[in-house]
Structure 1
Amino acid sequence: MTTTAAPPPSSAPPTPAKQRLSTAQALARLLPFIKPVMPRLIMGFVSALLAALVALLMPLVLGAVVAGPVASGEWGAIAWGAVAILAIGLAEAGLVWVRRWFVLGPATKVEYDLRTQFYARLQNLPVAFHDRWQSGQLLSRMMQDISMIRRWLAFGLVLLVVNLITIVVGTVILFRWHWLLAVIFIVTALPLWVQGYLFEKRYGALTRQSQDQAGDLATAVEESVHGIRVLKAFGRGKHALRNFARRAEHLRETELDKARAIGVVWFWLVLMPDVAFALCLASGIWLISVGTITVPELFAFFAMATVLRWPIESIGFLFSFLLDARTATDRIFEVFDETNTITDPENPRTIAHARGELVFEDVHFRYQDAGPSERDLLDGIDLVVRPGETMALVGLTGCGKTTLTTLPTRLYDVTGGRVLLDGVDVRDLKLSELRRHIAMAFEDATLFSSTVRQNVLLGRADLDIRSPEAELVLREALDIAQAGFVDDLPDGAETMIGEEGMSLSGGQRQRLALARAVAAKPSVLVLDDPLSALDVDTEALVEEALRRILADTTALVVAHRPSTVALADRVALMEDGRITAVGTHSELLRSSDHYRHVISSLEVEDARMRDREVNL
């Protein structure tokens, strides 16, 4: 006997506890997206309803033909009856086509608006949000869930409402022939509603579990693709496959549970109409025997019941579709409902002529998942970087250097104190203006799947990247970053870079990222160890070029090499989340034991890296 391991919990971050909305309330949140296309959706609904009502005419016409022309043998009248049936069929088909024409365009428009606004929301939410959410979860919401809503709007919603109306109208018409037959038909439908209620409770939970597991599976694929070099280098492909197969098996089991739940509903949906037909046939024959109804009337009754069979059978599928759409809506609005803590101020200030003075005043910072007993990661930082000055930031690993560099551009907001740019709190500036004045180059160089030109000029929204001015900026930035290798690429600066720049070496990626920061021509340049992947000779050339541009630019540079410290006018020493000393390199060597320890550690590591380069 084999057992299946319990599925891992979904990696989607938990949402704050709140009252669960009803299905109608949850789906009503889509109304702002639906309103612009509401007229066409209504026309599609009307077309579908007319098609259903036209279909209900067919049993009435058939009953009349059987009772009249067929009974009397009038062939001419029978022919006209056949023409009437054909006309009804053509009208129904035409209205179905019209319905699709009306709803498909609006549904895709809603999908487009949802997807673009979802993407915009992801761009606007702070880095802290992306720290908590796995990319696969966001990707599954962006693609699968929004597509689910589009299909439900174009198909599920319209048909669910129309089929329910068709069932009600058709059931009322059944009373036209005999009340007993209609009551039997209605009573046998009651188990369907009971099963529908039970189905909603079970299927809704399974749907949410399935969609969350699909997001986890997408994350696993993405991580494996991005980390394929590591997996191959360590021979861990089979290990990754086992983990993936385990998650895929949990998703498979959930999908099977969904299928079983749907199967139970379908059992009742197929069984009860057949039971109704059998009971109605027996009752109808008895009613004919006592002279209450005629054979043509019983024929018309069964024709109507046959027309109603598909709407009744479709309710289970359409109801599960409704629950899928509701779950997809919940998952999408979990992202829309996230609070954006880093926004533009209500009354923004401006800096007319930026000088580039960067000041940290009693800055405190702690990450959102820090425990209440933990002290702040940045615990009272006081630092002034003068206009045009290059300040190196040094310290042992884990002292908070990289975290400090994220605060000037508000990738994170301080939790205490403030950061000033030319005397203005960075929180009082519009984000667009702030990030125009301050540019960053990260140690982990991230490039995008576009051309070299587009990557380097990413921060220059003010330029037409095809203009002569843009070409000059591009060339200057590439020269400073010693990125002459670009001219050797197949299409030069127009060469498409693969996903995350993985078609380039680490040093090439880092040089392009540095060129991107330089091309932005900021007042303040924040560099988080941007030369770590460069060889010794290239590093020396880049440093020489940086000295020229940093002569007029304020720079805060995280240094992990002694050579990077040499770029600086002054050095700030960080220790346990505090600035413990500031001065020139020579001053700190004389006055600070901890600084000498940090520099010696950097020299040892630098020597190790150089030895490795020589051996390679």
Structure 2
Amino acid sequence: MFSRMLHPLFRYFETRVNPYPEGEVQTPPQGLLPFIWHFSRPVLPLLLLMTLFTALVSSAEVFFFSYMGELVDWLGHVEREGFWSAHGLWLAGIGIMVLLGLPLLVLGQSLITHQSIFGNYPMIGRWLSHRHMLNQSLAFYQDEFAGRVSQKVMQTALAIRETVTKVMGLLVYAIVYFTGAAILLGRADLWLLLPLGLWLIGYLAIMRFFVPRLRDVSMAQADARAQMTGRVVDSYSNIQTIKLFADTDREQRYAREAMETFMVTVHRQMRLVTIMSVCLTLLNTALLVGTAGMAISTWYYDAISLGVLTIAIALVMRIRFMSDWILWEVAGLFENIGTVQDGMNTIAREPTIRDVPNAPALEVSAGGIRFDALRFSYEQAKGESRTVFDGLNLTIAPGEKIGLIGRSGAGKSTLANLLLRFYDVQGGRIMIDGQDISQVTQTSLRHQIGMVTQDTSLLHRSLRDNIRYGTPQASDEDVWTAVCRAHADAFINDLVDPKGRRGLDAHVGERGVKLSGGQRQRIAIARVLLKNAPILVLDEATSALDSEVEAAIQEQLDTLMEGKTVIAIAHRLSTIAMLDRLIVVEQGQIVESGTHAELLAQEGIYAGLWKRQSGGFLGVDM
């Protein structure tokens, strides 16, 4: 009931910040402070308000200490006879003010901190980082563990919140408490400031010695943790391969190496923590003994009152506990800063593939494609590169269907990836209907191209969502029509996931692992059939299918290809022999071009491949 009464209040503060900012996706800036500021701007007013309430709460606590000292002095001199009748009302009023005032301040602080900031603040970081990471190129993800990237997106956002809120909270508490304590003690007797001043020097010395070391080890630990997580996730993502080769021992060693590296940083950190704890305890004990001794001595010589003695000891006890908290928070602060810096190295990278400013959408009227003086190389380690194309020229007429032939590494799939602008060319142009694909938006380019690859991976969502992924507005009837045309209806109705969802509602597992390779490929074909794009790229589209299913689907692909520009890649030459033109690629160059009959008549490379095929596949020993 109490929770229901507070629900509107909670909801009001929870909605003060939009955790999903819209607008153009921007690359976070390099540099720790600019990087943190990038994610903190939406909550800056609330952070300042939180700081104000924190200052009011800590000031109220200092005032309470001061008031208690005065109360002790006053009670020491007041007459007991008639005490309640003379002073009861005033004491009751003070009690009500303390009873209501401090909780109300804490309520305001907590609503802003916990309802407005704590949940929304890191979600802003995750949302903006995730949107930015979706814009990264394929090359970026080929060099990174997916688990490592996702962990950095999740942890960095949380570390930013912890860093900012701790810095602001620590500054306020430290300034208010130490300033308040110095004023209260110094006003009573300047000698009482001596133990506090010596303690402050010692405290700063401890921080100066331990904090940088904790920072360094925390940064090393953050990197080791990300590496450890990446290796573990890599094992889970490839569990079928691990079990297939029965090599769990190697995977255990692979993960343990990262875990042992992580544990080295943990041991270094814990050793520093133990030494720091002992030093701080010695310093705080010296402060307590020194202040108590100084206060008792000055009270003995009637230099201060009993109330001041009470304030001095109470404040020192409070500072003692607070100093311990501050030092641990500072140590944790640098651990969070290490996490932020480690995450920044991954998140604050400019995407290598970007749309030009104000890029228009691609408009496909006919579907003609031209590769003009194409030059492209893959970047490798130590600044080296591997040239794939050096001046390639290829024109595909609107509606023409071509087949690309060549052994692995000849550049067939690279050509398809360049057409989709997964990579940018280093020279030349790729034109679609006279439009340079580097000058149009990537989204519109890929909307106009349907592609089925050999290695089909599905999203861990329902089959319906996977099939409708490129065409979200498609009706269930359209989805089922595509399913039937891809001959996937033969197995879909029998699918049931662990939560009891059936058919199109069944979830397929990570990367579609609950389906066979052939089933995944049929779902991918259904998705492209439903998308019905004017340009079609088939990269070993039927390689995972058995002959009977392939023959049935080939009829649907023939229907799908009508009126479309098609680029088909296959090692099984019989699947592309009927296309309008066959192109043989060797070391990034076109060495033969013509129809199946024309190439056989030339008795060149293609004719030799056709004769040497075993089981309909292109041999690798060319």
TM-score (norm 1): 0.87
CA distance 1:607–1:336, change in 2 (3 Å): closer
Which residue of 38, 42, 54 corresponds with 1:36? 42
* Counterparts of 2:448 and 2:377, CA distance in 1: 25
CA distance 1:459–1:576, change in 2 (3 Å): same
Secondary structure of 2:418 counterpart? coil
**Equivalence for 2:12:** none
Q: Residues 115-158 of structure 1: CA distance to partner in whole angstroms, max 9, x if unpaired?
A: 11111111111112222222122111122222233344556632
- Assess if the C-alpha contact under 8 Å between 1:392 and 1:571 holds in 2: yes
CA distance 1:211–1:489, change in 2 (3 Å): same
Moved more, 543-552 or 303-312: 303-312
> Which residue identity is paired with 2:57?
A
**Are residues 1:56 and 2:62 paired?**
yes
- Assess if the C-alpha contact under 8 Å between 2:36 and 2:160 holds in 1: no
- Assess if the C-alpha contact under 8 Å between 1:362 and 1:418 holds in 2: yes
Following superposition, the deviation at residue 600 of structure 1 comes to: 4.8
Following superposition, the deviation at residue 201 of structure 1 comes to: 1.9
Q: Residues 502-523 of structure 1: CA distance to partner in whole angstroms, max 9, x if unpaired?
A: 1100100011112212221111
Moved more, 368-377 or 70-79: 70-79
> Which residue identity is paired with 2:484?
D
* Counterparts of 2:305 and 2:362, CA distance in 1: 91
**Equivalence for 2:111:** 101
> Which residue identity is paired with 1:147?
L
CA distance 1:150–1:124, change in 2 (3 Å): same
**Are residues 1:402 and 2:407 paired?**
no
* Counterparts of 2:460 and 2:548, CA distance in 1: 29
> Which residue identity is paired with 1:243?
Y
Which residue of 521, 524, 535 corresponds with 2:532? 521
- Assess if the C-alpha contact under 8 Å between 2:30 and 2:344 holds in 1: no
> Which residue identity is paired with 1:175?
G
- Assess if the C-alpha contact under 8 Å between 2:288 and 2:317 holds in 1: no
* Counterparts of 1:34 and 1:147, CA distance in 2: 12
- Assess if the C-alpha contact under 8 Å between 2:379 and 2:386 holds in 1: no
Following superposition, the deviation at residue 377 of structure 1 comes to: 1.7
- Assess if the C-alpha contact under 8 Å between 1:59 and 1:300 holds in 2: yes
**Are residues 1:201 and 2:212 paired?**
yes
- Assess if the C-alpha contact under 8 Å between 2:367 and 2:565 holds in 1: yes
Following superposition, the deviation at residue 347 of structure 1 comes to: 4.7
Secondary structure of 2:372 counterpart? strand
Q: Residues 257-298 of structure 1: CA distance to partner in whole angstroms, max 9, x if unpaired?
A: 223323333333332121012122233333334433344322
Secondary structure of 1:406 counterpart? helix
Following superposition, the deviation at residue 530 of structure 1 comes to: 1.3
1:59-98 map, 5 Å: 59-72=65-78, 74=80, 76=83, 84=94, 88=98, 91-98=101-108
Which residue of 570, 577, 582 corresponds with 2:593? 582
> Which residue identity is paired with 1:186?
G
Which residue of 325, 337, 353 corresponds with 1:326? 337
Moved more, 204-213 or 551-560: 204-213
1:345-384 map, 5 Å: 345-369=356-380, 374-384=385-395
> Which residue identity is paired with 2:483?
L
**Equivalence for 1:239:** 250
CA distance 1:385–1:28, change in 2 (3 Å): closer
- Assess if the C-alpha contact under 8 Å between 2:362 and 2:445 holds in 1: no
1:477-496 map, 5 Å: 477-484=482-489, 485-490=491-496, 491-496=502-507
> Which residue identity is paired with 1:238?
D
* Counterparts of 1:60 and 1:373, CA distance in 2: 71
**Equivalence for 1:538:** 549
Secondary structure of 1:399 counterpart? coil
- Assess if the C-alpha contact under 8 Å between 1:118 and 1:142 holds in 2: yes
**Equivalence for 1:285:** 296
Q: Residues 414-454 of structure 1: CA distance to partner in whole angstroms, max 9, x if unpaired?
A: 11111111121111212122112112211110100112121
CA distance 1:357–1:411, change in 2 (3 Å): same
* Counterparts of 1:83 and 1:60, CA distance in 2: 17
CA distance 1:33–1:144, change in 2 (3 Å): closer
CA distance 1:255–1:60, change in 2 (3 Å): same
* Counterparts of 1:445 and 1:457, CA distance in 2: 15
* Counterparts of 1:596 and 1:102, CA distance in 2: 75
> Which residue identity is paired with 1:475?
W
> Which residue identity is paired with 1:195?
I
**Equivalence for 2:3:** none
> Which residue identity is paired with 2:485?
I
* Counterparts of 1:188 and 1:374, CA distance in 2: 60
**Structure 2 gap ranges (5+):** 1-28, 497-501
> Which residue identity is paired with 2:591?
T
CA distance 1:251–1:97, change in 2 (3 Å): farther
> Which residue identity is paired with 1:524?
I
* Counterparts of 1:608 and 1:363, CA distance in 2: 27
Secondary structure of 1:488 counterpart? coil
**Equivalence for 1:411:** 422
- Assess if the C-alpha contact under 8 Å between 2:538 and 2:567 holds in 1: yes
Secondary structure of 1:181 counterpart? helix
Moved more, 579-588 or 141-150: 141-150
Following superposition, the deviation at residue 526 of structure 1 comes to: 1.0
- Assess if the C-alpha contact under 8 Å between 1:107 and 1:154 holds in 2: no
Which residue of 239, 255, 259 corresponds with 1:228? 239
**Structure 1 gap ranges (5+):** 1-18, 610-616
CA RMSD of aligned residues (A): 2.7
> Which residue identity is paired with 1:61?
Y
Moved more, 53-62 or 402-411: 53-62
* Counterparts of 1:585 and 1:547, CA distance in 2: 17
* Counterparts of 1:528 and 1:427, CA distance in 2: 22
Following superposition, the deviation at residue 413 of structure 1 comes to: 1.0
* Counterparts of 2:616 and 2:219, CA distance in 1: 49
**Are residues 1:139 and 2:144 paired?**
no
CA distance 1:272–1:89, change in 2 (3 Å): farther
Percent identity between the two aligned chains: 25
Secondary structure of 1:366 counterpart? strand
- Assess if the C-alpha contact under 8 Å between 1:188 and 1:272 holds in 2: yes
**Equivalence for 1:180:** 191
- Assess if the C-alpha contact under 8 Å between 1:394 and 1:572 holds in 2: yes
Following superposition, the deviation at residue 553 of structure 1 comes to: 1.0
1:433-512 map, 5 Å: 433-461=444-472, 463=473, 465=474, 467=475, 471-472=477-478, 474-484=479-489, 485-490=491-496, 491-512=502-523
Secondary structure of 1:603 counterpart? coil
Which residue of 174, 177, 194 corresponds with 1:166? 177
Secondary structure of 1:60 counterpart? helix
Moved more, 481-490 or 521-530: 481-490
Secondary structure of 1:500 counterpart? coil
* Counterparts of 1:122 and 1:403, CA distance in 2: 23
Following superposition, the deviation at residue 81 of structure 1 comes to: 6.0
Moved more, 379-388 or 572-581: 379-388
> Which residue identity is paired with 1:480?
R
Following superposition, the deviation at residue 525 of structure 1 comes to: 0.7
- Assess if the C-alpha contact under 8 Å between 1:51 and 1:91 holds in 2: no
Following superposition, the deviation at residue 51 of structure 1 comes to: 1.3
Secondary structure of 2:429 counterpart? strand
> Which residue identity is paired with 1:54?
A
Secondary structure of 2:423 counterpart? coil
- Assess if the C-alpha contact under 8 Å between 1:389 and 1:551 holds in 2: no
**Are residues 1:307 and 2:302 paired?**
no
Following superposition, the deviation at residue 159 of structure 1 comes to: 4.1
